[in-house]
Homo-oligomer: A and B are copies of this chain.
Amino acid sequence: MMKSYMQRKMDLINQQLNEIYTENMALNKDLAKAMNYSLMAGGKRLRPILIMAAADALGVDGEKFLRLSTSIEFIHTYSLIHDDLPAMDNDDYRRGKLTNHKVFGEALAILAGDALLTMAFEIIATDKNVDAETKVKIITEMSKAAGAEGMVGGQVIDMQSENKKIDIQTLKQMHAAKTGALFCAAIRSGAILAGADEKQLANLTEYARQFGLAFQITDDILDVVGDEKTIGKPVGSDEKNHKSTYVTLGSLESAKALAQEAVDKAKASLVDFGENAEFLRALVDYLITRNK
Protein backbone atom coordinates (compact mmCIF):
# COMPACT_ATOMS: atom_id res chain seq x y z
CA MET A 1 0.00 0.00 0.00
CA MET A 2 2.71 2.39 1.14
CA LYS A 3 4.84 2.10 -2.00
CA SER A 4 1.98 2.30 -4.47
CA TYR A 5 0.42 5.27 -2.64
CA MET A 6 3.72 7.14 -2.80
CA GLN A 7 4.39 6.21 -6.39
CA ARG A 8 0.92 7.30 -7.49
CA LYS A 9 1.27 10.66 -5.70
CA MET A 10 4.79 11.19 -7.07
CA ASP A 11 3.59 10.57 -10.60
CA LEU A 12 0.69 12.97 -10.17
CA ILE A 13 2.96 15.63 -8.71
CA ASN A 14 5.54 15.30 -11.48
CA GLN A 15 2.79 15.53 -14.07
CA GLN A 16 1.37 18.64 -12.39
CA LEU A 17 4.78 20.29 -12.11
CA ASN A 18 5.27 19.67 -15.80
CA GLU A 19 1.92 21.24 -16.58
CA ILE A 20 2.66 24.33 -14.50
CA TYR A 21 5.99 24.62 -16.28
CA THR A 22 4.37 24.46 -19.70
CA GLU A 23 1.70 27.04 -18.78
CA ASN A 24 4.14 29.39 -17.18
CA MET A 25 6.99 29.25 -19.64
CA ALA A 26 8.71 32.32 -18.28
CA LEU A 27 9.47 35.54 -20.07
CA ASN A 28 12.94 34.22 -20.61
CA LYS A 29 13.82 30.74 -21.84
CA ASP A 30 17.09 30.47 -19.96
CA LEU A 31 15.38 31.35 -16.69
CA ALA A 32 12.64 28.80 -17.36
CA LYS A 33 15.25 26.14 -18.11
CA ALA A 34 17.15 26.84 -14.91
CA MET A 35 13.96 26.71 -12.83
CA ASN A 36 12.83 23.52 -14.48
CA TYR A 37 16.21 21.80 -14.19
CA SER A 38 16.05 21.75 -10.41
CA LEU A 39 12.28 21.36 -10.17
CA MET A 40 12.42 18.18 -12.26
CA ALA A 41 15.67 16.81 -10.81
CA GLY A 42 13.80 14.09 -8.98
CA GLY A 43 13.44 14.01 -5.27
CA LYS A 44 10.89 12.22 -3.19
CA ARG A 45 8.22 14.97 -3.37
CA LEU A 46 7.72 14.37 0.34
CA ARG A 47 6.30 17.82 1.12
CA PRO A 48 3.47 17.87 -1.43
CA ILE A 49 2.73 14.25 -0.57
CA LEU A 50 2.42 15.27 3.10
CA ILE A 51 -0.12 17.96 2.19
CA MET A 52 -2.29 15.44 0.38
CA ALA A 53 -1.75 12.72 2.98
CA ALA A 54 -2.83 15.01 5.83
CA ALA A 55 -6.08 15.70 4.00
CA ASP A 56 -6.48 11.97 3.34
CA ALA A 57 -5.96 11.28 7.05
CA LEU A 58 -9.01 13.44 7.76
CA GLY A 59 -11.13 11.57 5.21
CA VAL A 60 -10.94 14.24 2.50
CA ASP A 61 -9.40 13.23 -0.83
CA GLY A 62 -6.02 14.99 -0.87
CA GLU A 63 -5.70 14.73 -4.63
CA LYS A 64 -8.32 17.46 -4.94
CA PHE A 65 -5.52 19.76 -3.77
CA LEU A 66 -2.83 18.42 -6.11
CA ARG A 67 -2.08 21.71 -7.84
CA LEU A 68 -1.86 23.72 -4.65
CA SER A 69 0.26 20.98 -3.06
CA THR A 70 3.01 21.45 -5.62
CA SER A 71 3.59 25.01 -4.36
CA ILE A 72 5.63 23.68 -1.45
CA GLU A 73 7.93 21.81 -3.85
CA PHE A 74 8.72 25.19 -5.44
CA ILE A 75 9.76 26.50 -2.02
CA HIS A 76 11.79 23.37 -1.25
CA THR A 77 13.52 23.48 -4.65
CA TYR A 78 14.45 27.16 -4.34
CA SER A 79 16.00 26.45 -0.94
CA LEU A 80 18.15 23.66 -2.37
CA ILE A 81 19.41 25.88 -5.20
CA HIS A 82 20.38 28.69 -2.83
CA ASP A 83 21.88 26.30 -0.24
CA ASP A 84 24.17 24.81 -2.90
CA LEU A 85 25.59 28.19 -4.01
CA PRO A 86 29.34 28.84 -3.71
CA ALA A 87 28.70 31.46 -1.00
CA MET A 88 26.74 28.87 1.00
CA ASP A 89 27.50 25.12 0.98
CA ASN A 90 29.36 25.30 -2.36
CA ASP A 91 28.12 21.93 -3.55
CA ASP A 92 28.80 20.64 -7.06
CA TYR A 93 26.35 17.76 -6.95
CA ARG A 94 22.80 17.28 -5.72
CA ARG A 95 20.94 13.98 -6.14
CA GLY A 96 23.81 12.80 -8.32
CA LYS A 97 23.35 15.66 -10.81
CA LEU A 98 25.34 18.88 -11.17
CA THR A 99 23.92 21.65 -8.99
CA ASN A 100 22.02 24.50 -10.61
CA HIS A 101 24.86 27.05 -10.52
CA LYS A 102 27.27 24.51 -11.96
CA VAL A 103 25.05 24.23 -15.03
CA PHE A 104 23.59 27.73 -15.37
CA GLY A 105 26.05 29.94 -13.50
CA GLU A 106 25.66 31.67 -10.18
CA ALA A 107 23.56 34.64 -11.28
CA LEU A 108 20.93 32.56 -13.02
CA ALA A 109 20.86 30.09 -10.13
CA ILE A 110 20.14 32.87 -7.64
CA LEU A 111 17.40 34.26 -9.88
CA ALA A 112 15.88 30.84 -10.61
CA GLY A 113 15.61 30.32 -6.86
CA ASP A 114 14.02 33.74 -6.40
CA ALA A 115 11.51 33.02 -9.16
CA LEU A 116 10.61 29.59 -7.75
CA LEU A 117 9.95 31.02 -4.30
CA THR A 118 7.80 33.78 -5.77
CA MET A 119 5.88 31.35 -7.97
CA ALA A 120 4.98 29.20 -4.95
CA PHE A 121 2.81 32.04 -3.64
CA GLU A 122 1.36 32.70 -7.09
CA ILE A 123 0.32 29.04 -7.37
CA ILE A 124 -1.55 29.18 -4.06
CA ALA A 125 -3.14 32.57 -4.74
CA THR A 126 -4.39 31.58 -8.21
CA ASP A 127 -5.67 28.11 -7.29
CA LYS A 128 -9.20 27.50 -8.57
CA ASN A 129 -10.30 24.79 -6.12
CA VAL A 130 -9.76 26.53 -2.80
CA ASP A 131 -11.57 29.50 -1.23
CA ALA A 132 -9.82 32.75 -0.36
CA GLU A 133 -9.94 32.28 3.45
CA THR A 134 -8.18 28.94 3.15
CA LYS A 135 -5.60 30.28 0.70
CA VAL A 136 -4.71 33.07 3.11
CA LYS A 137 -4.27 30.56 5.95
CA ILE A 138 -1.99 28.42 3.81
CA ILE A 139 0.07 31.38 2.59
CA THR A 140 0.48 32.35 6.25
CA GLU A 141 1.68 28.83 7.13
CA MET A 142 4.11 28.66 4.22
CA SER A 143 5.55 32.15 4.54
CA LYS A 144 6.17 31.77 8.27
CA ALA A 145 7.74 28.33 7.78
CA ALA A 146 9.94 29.39 4.86
CA GLY A 147 11.11 32.75 6.20
CA ALA A 148 13.29 34.32 8.86
CA GLU A 149 11.63 32.45 11.72
CA GLY A 150 11.74 29.15 9.86
CA MET A 151 13.80 27.75 7.01
CA VAL A 152 15.96 30.80 6.23
CA GLY A 153 16.60 31.44 9.93
CA GLY A 154 17.61 27.80 10.37
CA GLN A 155 19.98 28.01 7.45
CA VAL A 156 21.70 31.01 9.03
CA ILE A 157 22.17 29.10 12.29
CA ASP A 158 23.48 26.13 10.32
CA MET A 159 26.04 28.33 8.58
CA GLN A 160 27.14 29.89 11.83
CA SER A 161 27.51 26.47 13.46
CA GLU A 162 30.05 25.26 10.91
CA ASN A 163 33.27 24.03 12.45
CA LYS A 164 31.76 24.67 15.86
CA LYS A 165 30.75 22.12 18.43
CA ILE A 166 27.10 22.77 19.26
CA ASP A 167 24.98 20.88 21.79
CA ILE A 168 22.16 18.55 20.83
CA GLN A 169 19.51 21.09 21.91
CA THR A 170 20.88 23.74 19.51
CA LEU A 171 21.10 21.08 16.82
CA LYS A 172 17.44 20.23 17.38
CA GLN A 173 16.37 23.89 17.22
CA MET A 174 18.38 24.47 14.08
CA HIS A 175 16.80 21.53 12.26
CA ALA A 176 13.33 22.35 13.59
CA ALA A 177 13.67 25.68 11.79
CA LYS A 178 15.69 24.64 8.76
CA THR A 179 13.75 21.55 7.68
CA GLY A 180 11.12 20.89 10.34
CA ALA A 181 9.09 24.07 9.83
CA LEU A 182 8.36 23.29 6.19
CA PHE A 183 7.27 19.72 7.05
CA CYS A 184 4.95 21.25 9.65
CA ALA A 185 3.59 23.73 7.11
CA ALA A 186 2.93 20.85 4.69
CA ILE A 187 0.99 18.76 7.18
CA ARG A 188 -0.85 21.75 8.63
CA SER A 189 -1.79 23.01 5.16
CA GLY A 190 -3.26 19.63 4.29
CA ALA A 191 -5.17 19.61 7.57
CA ILE A 192 -6.48 23.14 6.97
CA LEU A 193 -7.53 22.22 3.43
CA ALA A 194 -9.50 19.29 4.86
CA GLY A 195 -11.16 21.50 7.49
CA ALA A 196 -9.43 20.03 10.56
CA ASP A 197 -10.68 21.06 14.00
CA GLU A 198 -8.28 22.44 16.65
CA LYS A 199 -7.50 19.08 18.21
CA GLN A 200 -6.88 17.35 14.89
CA LEU A 201 -4.62 20.21 13.83
CA ALA A 202 -2.64 19.96 17.09
CA ASN A 203 -2.21 16.19 16.73
CA LEU A 204 -1.12 16.44 13.12
CA THR A 205 1.30 19.25 14.03
CA GLU A 206 2.88 16.97 16.66
CA TYR A 207 3.10 14.23 14.04
CA ALA A 208 4.88 16.66 11.70
CA ARG A 209 7.36 17.69 14.41
CA GLN A 210 8.33 14.11 15.14
CA PHE A 211 8.37 13.32 11.43
CA GLY A 212 10.84 16.15 10.82
CA LEU A 213 13.05 14.98 13.65
CA ALA A 214 13.08 11.37 12.45
CA PHE A 215 13.78 12.58 8.91
CA GLN A 216 16.78 14.64 9.98
CA ILE A 217 18.30 11.98 12.23
CA THR A 218 18.02 9.45 9.41
CA ASP A 219 19.74 11.90 7.08
CA ASP A 220 22.63 12.11 9.51
CA ILE A 221 22.74 8.31 9.82
CA LEU A 222 22.71 7.86 6.03
CA ASP A 223 25.71 10.16 5.77
CA VAL A 224 27.64 7.49 7.69
CA VAL A 225 26.14 4.18 6.60
CA GLY A 226 24.57 5.09 3.24
CA ASP A 227 25.65 3.99 -0.21
CA GLU A 228 27.32 6.82 -2.14
CA LYS A 229 25.56 6.01 -5.39
CA THR A 230 22.16 5.65 -3.78
CA ILE A 231 22.24 8.83 -1.69
CA GLY A 232 23.88 10.79 -4.52
CA LYS A 233 26.60 12.42 -2.42
CA PRO A 234 29.87 11.32 -0.81
CA VAL A 235 29.53 9.26 2.38
CA GLY A 236 31.16 10.67 5.51
CA SER A 237 31.01 14.30 4.33
CA ASP A 238 29.52 15.50 7.63
CA GLU A 239 32.50 14.29 9.64
CA LYS A 240 34.93 15.56 7.03
CA ASN A 241 33.26 18.98 7.17
CA HIS A 242 33.26 18.96 11.00
CA LYS A 243 29.49 19.20 11.04
CA SER A 244 27.57 18.62 14.23
CA THR A 245 25.02 15.86 13.59
CA TYR A 246 22.97 13.43 15.66
CA VAL A 247 25.70 10.88 14.93
CA THR A 248 28.79 13.02 15.54
CA LEU A 249 27.32 14.47 18.76
CA GLY A 250 26.40 10.99 20.00
CA SER A 251 26.91 7.68 18.24
CA LEU A 252 25.31 5.68 15.48
CA GLU A 253 23.46 3.71 18.16
CA SER A 254 22.18 6.73 20.06
CA ALA A 255 21.05 8.34 16.81
CA LYS A 256 19.12 5.20 15.84
CA ALA A 257 17.44 5.14 19.23
CA LEU A 258 16.44 8.82 18.94
CA ALA A 259 15.01 8.21 15.48
CA GLN A 260 12.95 5.27 16.73
CA GLU A 261 11.67 7.37 19.63
CA ALA A 262 10.53 10.08 17.21
CA VAL A 263 8.79 7.50 15.03
CA ASP A 264 6.93 6.09 18.03
CA LYS A 265 5.84 9.57 19.14
CA ALA A 266 4.70 10.43 15.62
CA LYS A 267 2.51 7.33 15.52
CA ALA A 268 1.19 7.99 19.03
CA SER A 269 -0.05 11.42 17.94
CA LEU A 270 -2.25 9.70 15.36
CA VAL A 271 -4.03 7.51 17.89
CA ASP A 272 -7.37 9.29 17.39
CA PHE A 273 -7.18 8.91 13.62
CA GLY A 274 -8.53 5.76 12.06
CA GLU A 275 -7.60 3.80 9.01
CA ASN A 276 -7.37 6.96 6.94
CA ALA A 277 -4.05 7.79 8.64
CA GLU A 278 -2.51 4.43 7.71
CA PHE A 279 -0.26 6.04 5.12
CA LEU A 280 1.09 8.61 7.58
CA ARG A 281 1.93 5.77 9.99
CA ALA A 282 3.62 3.72 7.28
CA LEU A 283 5.52 6.79 6.10
CA VAL A 284 7.43 7.33 9.36
CA ASP A 285 8.34 3.64 9.44
CA TYR A 286 9.64 3.99 5.91
CA LEU A 287 11.52 7.17 6.89
CA ILE A 288 13.93 5.39 9.20
CA THR A 289 14.44 2.39 6.95
CA ARG A 290 14.98 4.37 3.74
CA ASN A 291 18.32 4.15 2.01
CA LYS A 292 18.26 7.57 0.31
Interfacial residues, chain A to chain B (CB-CB below 8 A): 24, 26-28, 30-32, 35, 78, 82, 85, 87-88, 105-108, 110-111, 113-115, 117-119, 121-122, 124-126, 131-133, 135-136, 139-140, 142-144, 146-150, 152-157, 159-160, 177
Contacts and interface: CB of A to CB of B under 8 A. Distances in A.
A153 B119 CA distance: 12
Q: Number of copies of this chain in the oligomer? A: 2
Given A31-B152, A88-B107, A114-B82, A144 B157 contact: no
B155 A143 contact: no
12 contacts: A28-B153, A31-B156, A85-B110, A87-B106, A88-B107, A108-B159, A110-B110, A111-B152, A115-B153, A132-B135, A135-B136, A139-B139
Given A140-B125, A148-B32, A88 B110 contact: yes
Contacts of A118: 117, 143, 146-148, 152
A205 to B, nearest CB: 18
Contact of A122 (B111, B144, B156, B177): B144
B27 A154 contact: yes
A32 B149 CA distance: 10
A159 B32 CA distance: 15
Contacts of A122: 139-140, 143-144, 147
Given A119-B148, A121-B121, 6 more contacts: A27-B150, A35-B148, A114-B152, A115-B147, A122-B139, A125-B143
A155 to B, nearest CB: 6
Contacts of A139: 121-122, 124-125, 139
B132 A136 contact: yes
